[in-house]
Structure 1
Amino acid sequence: MEVTVLISVYKESLEKVKLAIDSIVNQTYTDFLFLIIVDNPDNLEVIHYLQYLTKCDDRFEMIVNTQNLGLAQSLNRGIDRVVTPYLARMDADDIAESDRLEKQIGYLKDNPTVDLLGTNVIYIDEKSNVIGERGTLPCSSEAISEFMRYTNVLNHPTFMGKTSVFKEVKYRNLLYSQDYDFVCRLLEKNYVVNNLSACLLKYRITSFVSNEKKQKQRVAFEQIRHYYRLGKLSTIDIEKTLEASLKNYRADYYKLVDTYNNFVSLLKKKNYLKAISFLIKNLFVKGFVGELFNSLKIFLLKRKYQ
C-alpha cells in the first residue's frame, strides 16, 4: 500500500461519515489504507459501523480514543500509526471526488520534491447541495508562501503528502487554525507545498457556527499569521501565546468584522460613493486599515501569479 487516508471523527452523523467513507472506497485508485480515529467514545453508532467495516475490509483500521483528545492530538495519534509512504487527510463530513487519490498520488510521484499537496474544492451545504467553488488558488510553493502571509490558500481536507514530513512536523495542540499553523511551519522549514488547480473534494460548509467561535478562529489566525511573517512561528510556543490571546480577545473583533464586511458589500454592489464615505467614517476602527492592506496585497498577488 502506498497511501493511508486519515480521518478523525467526533460528532459527525453516521450518514455523513458513510458518505465520506464511500467516496474513498469508490476511488479509481485502490492501493490505500484507511485509518479512522474516533475522538468520541460515546459515538456508538459510528463505532459499530466502523467495527463492521474493519471485519469486511482489511484496509480499514479504527482507533477509539478513551476520552476526547481534540483534533490535533487525534491526528497526531493517527500520524504515528501510518507506515505507508504517503498520507492523505480528509474530514469526516466531506466527499472526495472519485479520482482524488489517483491524481494526487500521480502528481507526487511525478514531482518527488513536493512534500505536501492540496487541491481546490467545491463547496456543499448540509444537504450535500453544491453552493459554489472556492476560486483560483496559487499552485507553486513560491506563490503559496507569499499568499500565506495574508490568507490561507490550502484546503486541509485535501492534504496529501510524504508521511515522513507529517511525522517530522506534527500538529500543535491548538483549538483553532491548526492546519494554517501546520502549513506555515512547513513553509518556514523550506518544505515544498503545492496545490492542484482541479476541484477534487466537496467541502461541507456548516452554517451552525457561533459568532464567538468565528472570532476566536480569527484571533488564532491573526496570531499565527503574525509570527509566520516574522519567521518565528516554528520557534515560538504558539499554544501559550494563543491561550493568552483567546482569554483577552475583545468585542473589537466583532466590530472589525462587521465593518470590513459592510465595506466589501458596498463595493460588490458598486455603491462606490457610499463605500468611500463608509471608509472615511471607519478609518479609526481598530484593525480596519490593516484588513484593507491585507486585501490589497492579496489582490496584487493574484495579479502577479494568476
Structure 2
Amino acid sequence: MPMISVVMPVYNEKDNLKKSIESILNQTYTDFEFLIVNEIDSSDGSGDIIKSYELTDNRVKLIQRTSGKKGVASSLNLGIQYATGKYIARMDADDYSYPERFEKQIAYMEKNPDIMLCGTNYRIVAPDRQTVIEVETDPERIKTLFIFRDVIAHPTVMFRREEFLNNGLIYNENEPAEDYELWCKAVNYGKFTNIPEVLLDYKFGYGTNLAPKMVKYAIEVCKRNLKEMLDFPLEKFPEEIYAFTFRQVDKGGQYLEAYLNFLTEIEMRNCEREVYPKDILAEILAGQWNDFLRGYIGFVKLPVYKRFLLECKNGFSKQIEEEYSGLNNMLAQLKEISDKLREEINIRRKVFIFGAGIVGKLFYNWHRDILEKRMLGWIDNNIGMQGKVVEGKKVFSFETAMDCCPDAIFIANSKHTEEIYNQIKEYDKCSSVGVYSIECLNL
C-alpha cells in the first residue's frame, strides 16, 4: 500500500497535462499512486495522454468517468474512493509541483501527528505577473481566518485520508467552492497548517473568467460558516458587507459604520460561544478593519494604526472607536480643503486630475457638477491604469495629457505629491499650468 494517493481531476487539459503529470512523477519522494480522473466529456485527447503515462509508469492509474455527476468535486470524491494511501495529495492538471513537495509534506505530517491537513506557500503564474503567496501557518489563526476567506491553496494540500473519511468529510458535489466549504467543516476535527515554502506553481487567468464567479460562491460559503459557527444574524447586514470580506466592493464610504458593526457582532457572538481564541480573533478583526479602511480610502494616514494593532488583544470593539473617529476627522479636513479649491475649478476650462485612485475619485464626485464639463481626464503614471476609463473619464499618461494643453492639474496622490509636483514643473510645456494639491493648499 503506498504512503500517498495523489488525486488529480482532468477536463480538457492537453496543453498543460504533460508538465503537471511529470512534476508528480519526478518527485523526490516516490512512494505514491497517481490517480488521474478524466471527466466524462473531456474530449481533447487528455485521456490518451494519461494512458501513455499509465503504460510506462505503474504508479499512474487512469480513472475514466463514463457516468455520474460532472465536476471537480465529484471527480475528487471518486478518486478518493479508489485511493489506498495513508495520505491524499491534491494536484490540478494545469499546475506544477516542485520536486521536493511530497518529501517535505510527508516529513512534516509524520513528525506532527496532530496535523490533519498541510498546505504550502505557492507562486501564482499569470499572463501578466508571477507572485509568491505566503499563507498562514498557525492552526488557530487558520481556523479563525476561515470566517473571512480560504487560506489553504487547494492544489497544495495533503491530508490524512482515514481522518477525513471517518468523520464523513467529503467534497460537496453541489458546491462550486468545494474546497473552502470542506475546510470550514474539517477544521473542527483536526489542525490545519501550511509549510512556509513555495512548493507549487498555480496557473491562473489563462483564458478563463471563473475568478469573479468563484468569489460569489466563496462569499456564500463564508456566510454559511458564520451562521453555523457563531449563529450569526446574516440578515442583519447588507450583502455588500460580505463582499467587502473578499474585496469586491470599491465604494465603501457608505458602509463604514455597517462594516464596523459587522466586525463587532462577530466578536460579541464569539464571546458568547467561545469558538475562536479571543486574542487571535481580535487581531484578525483589527486586520480586516485596517484592510477595509485602506481599500476604501488608502490615503488616510492614521497614527493610531500601530498602537491600535498592538492593543487589539484587549478586544477589538473597544479599540476601534478612536480610529473610526480619526477617519471621520481626516475626511472632514480633506473635504474642507477640497471645497476651497472649488473656486479654482470654476475659473478653469481644461482640467486634469493627477491620480485616478480613491482621493481623485472623491474629489471628482464632490465637484462633479462643475468638473464634468471642464475635466479632460485623469493622469496616472501607472502604465496599467493608462487607457482605462474611470468615472466616465479616460486615464492618460503624463506626456499625452500635456499635449492637450491643460490650464490646471489637481494632484490626488498623497504618497508622491512632491514628486508629481516636480515632474509637472520640470516639463517644458507646463510653465503656465496651475498646479494644486487636493490634500494641501501650499504648493
TM over 0.5: yes
Question: What's the secondary structure of 1:184's corresponding residue?
Answer: helix
Per the alignment, residue 63 of structure 1 pairs with: 63
Alpha-carbon distance between aligned partners in 2 of 1:198 and 1:78, rounded to the nearest angstrom: 27
What TM-score does the superposition give when structure 2 sets the normalisation length?
Answer: 0.53
- Residues 1-306 of structure 1 correspond to what in structure 2 (within 5 A)? 1-12=2-13, 14-67=14-67, 69-125=70-126, 131-135=130-134, 137-167=135-165, 168-188=168-188, 190-210=189-209, 213-231=210-228, 263=250, 279-280=252-253, 282-283=254-255, 297=285, 299=287
The answer as to whether partners of 1:260 and 1:288 remain within 8 angstroms in 2 is no
Q: Would the alpha carbon gap of residues 215 and 2 (structure 1) be closer, same or farther in structure 2, given more than 3 Å must change?
A: same
Question: What's the secondary structure of 2:28's corresponding residue?
Answer: coil
Per the alignment, residue 269 of structure 1 pairs with: none
Alpha-carbon distance between aligned partners in 2 of 1:22 and 1:130, rounded to the nearest angstrom: 24
Question: What's the secondary structure of 1:115's corresponding residue?
Answer: strand
How many aligned positions are there? 264
Q: What is the percentage of aligned positions where both structures have the same residue? A: 26
Q: Would the alpha carbon gap of residues 285 and 99 (structure 1) be closer, same or farther in structure 2, given more than 3 Å must change?
A: same
Question: What's the secondary structure of 1:173's corresponding residue?
Answer: coil
The answer as to whether partners of 1:144 and 1:194 remain within 8 angstroms in 2 is yes
Shift of 1:221: 1.6
Alpha-carbon distance between aligned partners in 1 of 2:136 and 2:9, rounded to the nearest angstrom: 27
> Which deviates more, 83-92 or 117-126?
117-126
Q: Which runs of 5+ in 2 are unaligned?
A: 231-238, 267-282, 291-308, 311-443
Per the alignment, residue 273 of structure 1 pairs with: none
Alpha-carbon distance between aligned partners in 2 of 1:28 and 1:84, rounded to the nearest angstrom: 17
The answer as to whether partners of 1:150 and 1:298 remain within 8 angstroms in 2 is no
Alpha-carbon distance between aligned partners in 1 of 2:120 and 2:107, rounded to the nearest angstrom: 13
Question: What's the secondary structure of 1:226's corresponding residue?
Answer: helix
The answer as to whether partners of 1:24 and 1:96 remain within 8 angstroms in 2 is yes
User: What one-letter code is carried by the residue in structure 2 that aligns with 1:148?
Assistant: F
Shift of 1:286: 9.3
RMSD: 3.5
Which structure exhibits the higher relative contact order, with contacts defined as CA atoms closer than 8 Å and separated by 6 or more residues? 1
Shift of 1:131: 1.0
Per the alignment, residue 270 of structure 1 pairs with: none
Shift of 1:119: 0.6
Q: Would the alpha carbon gap of residues 284 and 111 (structure 1) be closer, same or farther in structure 2, given more than 3 Å must change?
A: closer
Question: What's the secondary structure of 2:187's corresponding residue?
Answer: helix
The answer as to whether partners of 1:4 and 1:34 remain within 8 angstroms in 2 is yes
Question: What's the secondary structure of 1:283's corresponding residue?
Answer: helix
Alpha-carbon distance between aligned partners in 2 of 1:262 and 1:166, rounded to the nearest angstrom: 36
User: What one-letter code is carried by the residue in structure 1 that aligns with 2:94?
Assistant: D
User: What one-letter code is carried by the residue in structure 1 that aligns with 2:63?
Assistant: I
Q: Would the alpha carbon gap of residues 184 and 260 (structure 1) be closer, same or farther in structure 2, given more than 3 Å must change?
A: closer
Shift of 1:43: 2.3
Question: What's the secondary structure of 2:8's corresponding residue?
Answer: strand
What TM-score does the superposition give when structure 1 sets the normalisation length?
Answer: 0.75
Q: Would the alpha carbon gap of residues 285 and 232 (structure 1) be closer, same or farther in structure 2, given more than 3 Å must change?
A: closer
Question: What's the secondary structure of 2:255's corresponding residue?
Answer: coil
Alpha-carbon distance between aligned partners in 2 of 1:76 and 1:82, rounded to the nearest angstrom: 10
Q: Which runs of 5+ in 1 are unaligned?
A: 234-251, 264-277
Shift of 1:232: 5.4
Shift of 1:130: 5.9
Q: Would the alpha carbon gap of residues 262 and 63 (structure 1) be closer, same or farther in structure 2, given more than 3 Å must change?
A: closer
Question: What's the secondary structure of 1:33's corresponding residue?
Answer: strand
Alpha-carbon distance between aligned partners in 2 of 1:42 and 1:7, rounded to the nearest angstrom: 14
List structure 1 runs of 4+ shifted beyond 6 angstroms.
Answer: 284-289, 293-296, 300-304
Shift of 1:133: 1.1
The answer as to whether partners of 1:41 and 1:64 remain within 8 angstroms in 2 is no
The answer as to whether partners of 1:147 and 1:298 remain within 8 angstroms in 2 is no
Shift of 1:85: 0.7
Shift of 1:165: 2.9
Question: What's the secondary structure of 1:149's corresponding residue?
Answer: coil
